[in-house]
Structure 1
C-alpha cells in the first residue's frame, strides 16, 4: 500500500500515533509513553467519550466464553419482533448482519470454541493484576473496587442450568462459588428475599466511574508527554516512512500507527493493512440512577432478566441488552428505560428513577469473540481493537502487551515477557469464515 505520488504531509514528532482515545487507546498511550516513546493520540472526541463512557463498569474476568451460543438461532425471530428483548436485531440491518452471525456460529465448533476460551482466559486472568498495577502507578487505586460480583436467579427451574454453568466455569478455571438465598441476604440485604441464590465470582471487581478512569489515564499520559489531538481520521495509507493519516484538519505523517478506535477500526485497518476484518457493533445501553447509593456492595447480574446493576460514585448503573443495528442508526432510549422495568421485583423496594439519564454505546465485536492485538506491516501498524464487552476489563493488560510489542523487534514476540499472542493476530482473518 506504499504511495509516494502524494504531497508529503506535515511531520508529526511522535514515534507512534494512536487512533482512538477510549479506554484501550488511552491505556496504550500511557504504557507506550512509559517505554520512552513519543506518543500522539488522535480522536474526534475527548478521551473516554465513546463506548468507554457508559459501560457497565464491571471488571468481568469471569466472562471467558464466546459472546453467544447456538441458542441464538432460536432467538433470531424474537430479536426481529421484540424491540425490548435482551437481544434485538434491526430488520433493516439483517442482510448486513447475517454474514457476521454465520461466522459467529461457525466459531462455536469445538476447535475454534476452545481457542476462544483459551484466548479470553489468557487475557482475563491477567486483567485484574494489570489494572491494579496501572492504577497504583497513578495513585488512584480507589477507582477499582475488587469486591467480586454476583449472578442471581429467582426461578426454581433455573437452578439446574445454573449448576451446569457453574461446572463449566470451574472447568474453565474460573472461581465460581455457589451461594444460597441466605448468603445473598447477608451480602446484599436490599435484594428481594424471593431470590433463590446465585454464583459469586471472587476474582472480579468494578470501577466506581469508568469515564473518570479514562480521564485519569489521560492526565497521567499527558504528564508523560503524550499529546492529545481532537480530529477525525478519515483515511490512511502506508508509505516508505510509515503512514499518512488524512484527518479533518489535513494530513498527518506517522512513523507508526496504533489502531485502537473500537467499533470504528475496520476501515482504517483495511486501508493500512489490506485485510478486511469482520467487525460488527453490539449496541449497549445504560440507565444511570443518581439517587441510588448503598443498595449493592458489588455488581449484581440477573440470570433470567439478563442485565447488570453496578454501584458507582454517581449512583447505580443499570446496563445490558444487545442490539445489532450498525454504527449509524439512532439509539432507541426506550431500551435503556426498559432496564428500570427489569429491575422491579429484584429489591425489597423498587429503585428510584428520578433524574435518571440514558446512554447508548458501540461495542466492537469480532465473530470469534477475541480482540486483535498485533503488530504488522513491518512494525508500522499496531492493532488493539475488537474487545467486545470486555474493553474495560482487558484494557490495562492489552496496553502492557502493546507497549512490549512496540519496543521489541518482531522476532521477539515469543519472549518470556509476553504470552503466545497468536490467538489475537490480524492474519487469522486472511482465512475465509474465521
Structure 2
C-alpha cells in the first residue's frame, strides 16, 4: 500500500450515529474536509432506538457488587431487566471480571467522577449545538421522574437520593400527591418518586441525527454508505479499506459504537475490552399524550419517554454479543411491565419492537482520545449515555483534532479519565 499519497480528506469519521455526526459537524466548522462513513444510513444504529432520555442524573454505573448475586437470574430469566445469554457466557466472563475489578472503591469513585463530569456538561453542549442549527425545539428540558410503588422501596429511594445529593445531582423527593399533580395518568398505587429537574428528552432522536446531517452537509461534509473493513497508518495519515476500495485521510475518527474495537486495534495495536449492551424498545404510536416527561419505574426497571410519534418503552439490557439474533419478546415484555403503572393500560396497537447495540466498556466510561501522533481520534464506549453525552463529546473531539492541541479545554471535562491507555 503506498505510503506517500497526499490525502484529499482531512478527517474520515467512521460511524454515522449521533456521536459521529455531531463530531463531523463540529470538525467541518473548523474548515476541515470531512467524510462520514457507515455501512448503514445515518442514525440507523443505536441512535435510532435509544430511550430519548437525556440522562444527566445517571452518574452511577449500571452494575454494582450485587451483580454476583444476580448472575443466576441473569442466566436463567430470558425476560429479566439485565440478561446474560448463557451461550455468550464464555466470551463475556473476562469482560465481567474486569467490570468487577472496576467496582472496587477507588476505581468506582473514578468511574462516577468521569460520568458525572460529562453529564454535567451535556445539557449545555446540547443547547449550544441545537441553537447553532436553529433547532432548539427538538429538545425538552422538562425533567424526568423515577417512581416507586411499594412502601418497602422507600429506603432504596431515600438512599438513592442521598447518594445523588452527595454527587451534586439536582434531585427532589415527590410525594404521591405531587406525582399525581404532575402526571395524573400514572396509577394511584404510586407511593412517590424522585424528580430530576436538570434532565430532558428528545421528541424524535432519529430526527435529531437527520437535522445534524443536513447541517453537516451544508458545511461540506460528505456521507458515504460503505463498510470499513480495516485500516493502516501511513506517513501522511491513515488509509481505510472499505468494501468499495481504499480511502486516505489525514486523520480518522472512530465513532462506530459497539463496532469500534476491530478498527481501533488495527490502527493503534490496542485490544479494547469493548462489549455491547443490547437494548430493546417498544414504540406505542397511539400514546403520544400519556406523559408530560420521561418516567422510570424503580421496581419494574424500565422507562417511558413521550415522543412525537408515540410513547417509547425502553430500558432492558442484554449481553449476547453482536451476532446472535434479536429476541423481540424482550421488547414486548416492556408492554407487559407497564400494566398497572398507569390508570389505564397502554395501547399496543400498531406497536413496533426494536433492538440495537450500546457500546460498553468494563469501567462504564467512554474512550475520548487522540492517539498515534494525532492521526487517530476515538469517541466510543458511551454505553447507555451516548445520546446524553454526544454533544459534549463532539466539542471535546473538536478540541483534540485542532492543530494546536489544548490538553484540558476550558469549560469542558478533563480528558484523563477517558484515555485509551487506561486499558
TM-score interval (norm. to shorter): over 0.9
Does residue 56 (structure 1) correspond to residue 51 (structure 2)? The answer is yes
TM-score, with normalisation over the residues of structure 2?
A: 0.98
Q: 1:420 and 2:404 equivalent?
A: no
What is residue 19 of structure 2 aligned with on the other side?
24
Q: Over residues 265-323 of structure 1, what are the superposed CA-to-partner deviations in whole Å (9 max), with x where a residue is unaligned?
A: 00000010011110000000000000012110000000000000000000000001110
Alpha-carbon deviation of 1:38?
1.2
**Matches of 1:415 and 1:145 in 2, distance apart?**
27
Distance 2:21 2:99 in 1: 29
Are residue 79 (structure 1) and residue 87 (structure 2) matched?
Answer: no
Offset at 1:409? 3.4
1:174 aligns with 2:165: no
**Is residue 281–residue 315 contact of structure 2 (8 Å, CA) maintained in 1?**
yes
Whether 2:85 is the aligned partner of 1:118: answer no
Alpha-carbon distance between aligned partners in 1 of 2:5 and 2:172, rounded to the nearest angstrom: 57
Alpha carbons of structure 1 residues 349 and 418: separation in structure 2 relative to 1, 3 Å: closer
| Count of aligned pairs | 423
Query: What's the counterpart of residue 104 of structure 2?
Result: 109
Where 2:174 maps in the other structure, the secondary structure is: strand
Gaps of 5+ in 2: none
For 1:202-256, what per-residue CA distance to the aligned partner results, in whole angstroms no more than 9, with x for missing partners?
Answer: 0000000110000000000000000101100001111111111100101111110
Per-residue Cα deviation, 1:347-388 (whole angstroms, up to 9, x for no partner): 110001000000001000000000000001000000000000
Q: State the secondary structure of the residue aligned to 1:173.
A: coil
The one of 361, 367, 376 equivalent to 2:362 is: 367
- 1:316-395 alignment runs, 5 A limit: 316-395=311-390
Equivalent in the alignment of 2:213 = 218
Partner of 1:432: none
Q: CA deviation at 1:420?
A: 1.7
Query: Normalized against structure 1, the TM-score is what?
Result: 0.96
| Correspondence for 2:190 | 195
Q: Indicate the residue corresponding to 2:272 in structure 1.
A: 277
Query: Which secondary structure does the structure 1 equivalent of 2:209 belong to?
Result: helix
- The alignment yields a C-alpha RMSD, in angstroms, of 1.2
SS in 1 for 2:79: coil
Q: Tell me, yes or no, if the aligned pair for 2:5 and 2:236 is still in contact at 8 Å.
A: no
SS of structure 2 residue aligned to 1:206 = strand
Give unpaired runs (5+ residues) of structure 1. Answer: 1-5, 430-434
Measure, in 2, the Cα distance between the counterparts of 1:417 and 1:178. Answer: 30
Asked if 2 retains the 8 angstrom alpha-carbon contact of 1:11 and 1:252, the reply is: no
Aligned to 2:47, what secondary structure does the other structure show? coil
Structure 2: how far apart are the matches of 1:358 and 1:11? Answer: 46
1:213 aligned counterpart, secondary structure: helix
Question: Paired residue for 2:402?
Answer: 407
Change (3 A) 1:415 1:319: closer
State the shift of 1:389 in Å.
0.3
